[in-house]
Structure 1
Amino acid sequence: MSVELLDGAIILGFIEDDEAFNGSVQDRFAYFDTNHDGQLSYSEMLKELQFLRMIETHFGIDVKPDPEELSHVYDSLFLQFDRDLNGAVDLEESIYKF
């Protein structure tokens, strides 16, 4: 088992390395674009949000969020990325947000 420590400088270096960062975003985007139409629908993006489990864990401990509250958070997050409000997130919208 390998353990890697990430500090602010490493993360900032990755984000500032346009080629590495954009390549990583493009790879992740393509992975979740299951119908390969170049856009993430709400259901495709929801899979990513559920995979990340940001809301369902708190400092590494599983918590049971209220389903309505969780749905509202996911809806709000999707709208933050869907800048043109067309019901889908394209690659430019996802990279622009970062």
Structure 2
Amino acid sequence: MSVAFIDGPMVEKFVEDSETFEKCIDERFSMLDVNSDGVLSRDELQKEMNDPSSVESELQSKEEVDSLYDALFEKFDTEKKGTLDRQEFGSLMKEVMLARAHGFGNTPVCIILQEDSLLQKVV
């Protein structure tokens, strides 16, 4: 883990640098695709959520987490096959990162970053 100051424009710049962002998304996709079938199942995506170090797993009920993943798959699983391919995952991560940028705004915030966090790539 590390501590860094990040603001919205830093995150936006990272996302807009398509070569760097795509490389990071490819790495993250490969890491999550534990069975190497070229798509991410709901279980593969939730693997990180069940990590004991994940704050979200402690702050949200199972029903809230299930509802979140229902919404994610409804929006990003364009072919409604129950998995996300590399492109769908990239769209999801782009939207997540831009939402974070919007949330941070222009004022730098101090956050704790895990080693494999996409935000770690921003700094």
Normalised by the length of structure 1, the TM-score is 0.76
Deviation (angstroms), 1:95: 1.6
Letter in 2 for 1:47: K
Letter in 2 for 1:69: E
Note the alpha carbon deviations across 1:19-73, whole angstroms, 9 max, x for none: 11111111000000001111001111121444594744xxxxx53x332232222
**3-state SS of paired residue (1:4):** strand
Q: 2:2, 2:80 → 1: CA distance?
A: 42
Structure 1 residues 49 and 82 mapped into 2: Cα distance closer, same or farther (>3 Å)? farther
Q: 2:84, 2:2 → 1: CA distance?
A: 35
Q: Which stretches in structure 2 are left out of the alignment for 5+ residues?
A: 95-123
**3-state SS of paired residue (1:83):** coil
**Consecutive aligned runs of 4 or more in structure 1 exceeding 3 Å deviation:** 48-56
User: For residue 20 of structure 2, what is the aligned residue in structure 1?
Assistant: 20
Q: Which stretches in structure 1 are left out of the alignment for 5+ residues?
A: 57-61
Which structure is richer in relative contact order (CA contacts within 8 A, separation 6 or more)? Answer: 2
User: For residue 73 of structure 1, what is the aligned residue in structure 2?
Assistant: 68
Deviation (angstroms), 1:2: 5.2
* 8 Å Cα contact 1:34-1:44 kept in structure 2: yes
* 8 Å Cα contact 1:42-1:88 kept in structure 2: yes
Letter in 2 for 1:46: Q
Structure 1 residues 49 and 75 mapped into 2: Cα distance closer, same or farther (>3 Å)? farther
State how many pairs are aligned: 92
User: For residue 40 of structure 1, what is the aligned residue in structure 2?
Assistant: 40
* 8 Å Cα contact 2:77-2:83 kept in structure 1: yes
Normalised by the length of structure 2, the TM-score is 0.62
User: For residue 3 of structure 2, what is the aligned residue in structure 1?
Assistant: 3
The answer as to 2:121 corresponding to 1:94 is: no
Q: 1:21, 1:74 → 2: CA distance?
A: 23
